[in-house]
């Protein structure tokens, strides 16, 4: 059980270290795991 918790913690740390992504519409910085811009609701995944 302890090892499972440790794996989860490592996963969370990896997520938090992911670089931010910039919104293609308003250039606002969003967390890399966001699919929609928090500022303008633009689709972050549509960027090519
Ligand atoms: Zn935006």
Residue ranges per domain, the chain? 20-48
pLDDT at 23: 95
Integer Cα distance of 8 and 10 in angstroms: 5
What confidence tens digit (pLDDT) does each residue in 1-48 have?
Answer: 678 778 877 777 665 567 899 999 999 999 998 999 999 999 998 655
Dist. CA 22 → ligand 1 center (Å) = 8
Angle at 16 (CA atoms; ends 18, 31), nearest 5 degrees:
65
- Distance from the CA of 30 to the center of ligand 1, in angstroms? 8
Angle (CA) 8 12 18, round 5°: 145
pTM comes to 0.56
How many angstroms is it from 43 CA to the middle of ligand 1? 8
| Max Cα-Cα span within the chain | 44
E-strand stretches of the chain? 21-22, 29-30
């Amino acid at each position: 059980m302890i090892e499972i918790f440790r794996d989860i913690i490592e996963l969370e740390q990896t997520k938090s270290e992911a670089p931010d992504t910039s919104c293609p519409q308003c250039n606002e910085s969003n967390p890399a795991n966001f699919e929609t811009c928090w500022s303008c609701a633009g689709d972050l995944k549509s960027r090519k």
